[in-house]
A and B are shown apart, each in its own frame.
Chain A
């Protein structure tokens, strides 16, 4: 044993020094490299796992939403076309109604106008007659005062009136 110690210069102090060296290495590697890296790596794999499941559910939601959207779109289109046809029909009916109304109105207005015109015309004629008669009378009076016979007078009147008729 003594020969081994002397051959290899076994020295308990150096052995302890090397133990301390190694202890430092273990502590540093474990505390600052292995532990945090292992933690980080497991955390990262968890994150990736979560990300993958999230992505999967997201894709599912997306396709579901797309389906729903397309369905809603189809329904809306159908509804819109229904409404459109209905509105078209209604508009057609309304248009016809309005046309009818307008025609009636026009006819009515026309008729009214016609009667009014007729009335006006009649009135004007009557007025004219009256005025004419007055004029003729006054004129005749003026002539008569100058010595024309009543016979002539009335004949003239009648003639002039007839002329106006």
Chain B
């Protein structure tokens, strides 16, 4: 670990994933290597599973079925309908698996293996493995999948016109001309509605930012925490924090996938219908 390394080499945990090697002008970072490892692990697990899928399940299949069943019922609680769950579940579950294994791979002590790179500001240590989710590129990619996916899902579920009106509320503006004689207040409410739509549009970008930076921040902080503890005392002290990181990894994967489910569910809901219902309710 850090204390055993020569003092001339810097051991700082960078905010970004360090490139380990280059192919052409494509730099392969340690986070990317870990992600490939994650993909490999998932592919191997699924390969072993899919070979032995039977009507009467074995141990591995049983475990998978329990996980799948539990995840499905949890997703049902979030989405509130089996139909949405069935459509979104593969994406949400893949996010969960990918993030979880990436998080946990980051905790493995292989971070001690790496190479020493001599840069402009002296030699620095570059570990071969870094949690894939401790790289903003990964988390942004996942967040984009979730948010863009949810918008596509919204278009498929309620139609592109309604989806457009969620963000650029042309319908509200149009209603000014339709209803101005009956209720003049619409001159005030319609621009507000339009502005709310713009806020929603900004909110979509905020979703990407919050999803990606929440995950990145947690995992990166975990790595920093672990190395800080190891720097204080390499023996025994990081152990409770390792357990904490295992837990954090699970929680973050869960949060990411559940938020994905939430975004998909919201996208599938028709806002205008909801509002019309409310106004009817108010009139009655």
Binding site for B on A (CB under 8 A): 7-11, 13-19, 21-22, 24-26, 28-30, 32-38, 40-41, 43-44, 47
Contacts and interface: CB of A to CB of B under 8 A. Distances in A.
A34 B89 contact: yes
Interface residues of B, number: 43
B142 interface: yes
B42 A28 contact: yes
A25 B100 CA distance: 12
Which of A8, A41, A47 has the most B CB atoms < 10 Å from its CB? A8
Given A22-B141, A47-B55, A37 B65 contact: yes
B90 A32 contact: no
Contacts, number: 108
Interface in B77-132: 89-91, 93-95, 97-98, 132
Q: Which secondary structure dominates chain B's binding surface?
A: helix
B39 A21 contact: yes
B94 A8 contact: no
A28 B29 contact: no
A29 B36 contact: no
30 contacts: A8-B137, A10-B136, A10-B140, A11-B27, A15-B140, A15-B141, A17-B32, A17-B35, A18-B32, A18-B141, A18-B142, A21-B38, A21-B39, A21-B98, A22-B142, A22-B145, A24-B39, A26-B94, A28-B42, A29-B94, A29-B97, A34-B68, A34-B89, A35-B90, A36-B53, A37-B53, A37-B64, A41-B68, A41-B69, A47-B55
Contacts of A8: 15-16, 136-137
Q: Which secondary structure dominates chain A's binding surface?
A: helix
